[in-house]
Amino acid sequence: MIMAGLRVRIYGDSILRKKAKRVRNIDDELHHFIEQMAETMRASQIGVGLAAPQVGRLVRVAIVREDADDDVPIHCLINPRLVEQEEEQTGSEGCLSFPTLRADVQRPLRVLVEAINPDGEEMHLEAEGFLARVLVHEIDHLNGVLFIDRAERDSLGWLIPDEDTEDGYRIESTSLDQIHRKFDRLHQKTE
């Protein structure tokens, strides 16, 4: 899937399973890359987080926001590290690397993340609820961990358009085997 010039890698691409390397130098090229990541996430119209491996770069950079609304500020985290987590929450997650797939995932309810901002300054981001979920999801991406690795297996499902429902879609249950087969077929078509 290509958005705003950067191609979002989909499940089955080996880069999604690799651990990203620490950023050692914040330069103009990295700033440009971060801008491209933000454009790519905005272009998705649903994205609330994006990690560098999802667009083909093995560097520890992630961007997050609390909502897919374009007016919501985007936080850029370089070399993010989860330093505190409290309690638990379970909720539905999706991922730009798994178009239309949803699953329930247990995550911390509250987190504290340390990172460096694009100006090279140390930052701390405390988050609760949905933003905590997004932060941990993106940090997982930087470690080669995908949301289906943590998903409750019986909650895996595809979003299917359905104008007869209140939300405009329904969930069609699926399994890990079906997910693997679907993305394998998709990769074969694009090769």
Structural domain contains residue 77? yes
**From 29, 84, 86, 138, active-site residue:** 138
Q: Which domain, by its residues, includes 146? A: 2-151
CATH of the domain at 87: 3.90.45.10
So what's the pLDDT on residue 36? 95
Structural domain contains residue 105? yes
- pLDDT of 93 over the 80 cut: yes
Give yes or no: 93 in active site: no
So what's the pLDDT on residue 3? 43
So what's the pLDDT on residue 191? 66
- pLDDT of 84 over the 70 cut: yes
Render pLDDT for 24-76 as a digit per residue (tens, 0 to 9): 999 999 999 999 999 999 998 889 999 999 999 999 999 999 988 888 899 99
As for how many domains the chain has, the answer is 1
Structural domain contains residue 45? yes
Structural domain contains residue 144? yes
Mean pLDDT of the chain: 94
So what's the pLDDT on residue 26? 97
> Rounded distance, CA 20 to CA 119, Å?
20
List the one residue out of 148, 139, 158 whose CA is nearest residue 78: 139
Q: How far is CA 50 from CA 11, 41, 162, 178, in A?
A: 14, 7, 27, 25
Structural domain contains residue 156? no
Q: What is the pTM of this model?
A: 0.93
